[in-house]
Amino acid sequence: MVNKRTWFLLFFVGLFFTYVNIPLREIDPELYPYYEEFLGLYNDICPKKELPTKTIIRFNLKGGVVIGTCTRSYKRSVIEIDPVNWYLSTLNDRRQLMFHELTHCLLSLGHVDERYINNYMNPVLYPLEQHELNAQVINNLRYVCPD
């Protein structure tokens, strides 16, 4: 016979797995077009790679030199962009920042060595031309999804 603790544990585990598998996307409307563009490339090159179930992309004051962050956990990714830096940046820099953070959160790739200043995954944003950024993103997608 199953006791109350076992039922509670089974209920809690079931609730947890239900929660982590329910899709949730909370993306600031201003940031959504960058997510959508990146996802288009992602779906073309990595159609079999599973995306996080929960994706949150929002503005949040970072302060200091931090202009964006990606936090990943089990089936969840949160990208936070500093609004002050965002509104002071060019459209190309905004796109590069979003693709940088999306690469962290969706491809699970880290930074490159700081000596590579012409790479969008450098921890410091050195502006790239759009064609350079696209080529680097596509190379990273192909690296993560070689099929």
Give, for all 147 residues of the chain, the pLDDT tens digit.
568 777 667 666 655 655 555 667 899 999 999 999 999 999 999 998 888 889 999 999 998 899 999 999 888 899 999 999 999 999 999 999 999 999 999 999 999 998 888 999 999 999 999 999 999 999 999 999 987
- Is 40 strand, coil or helix? helix
The rounded Cα 98 to chain-centroid distance in angstroms is: 8
Give yes or no for a contact between 43 and 22, defined as CB atoms under 8 angstroms apart. Answer: no
Which residue ranges form the domains of the chain, and what is each CATH number? 23-144 (3.40.390)
| pTM, full prediction | 0.84
- Is 108 strand, coil or helix? coil
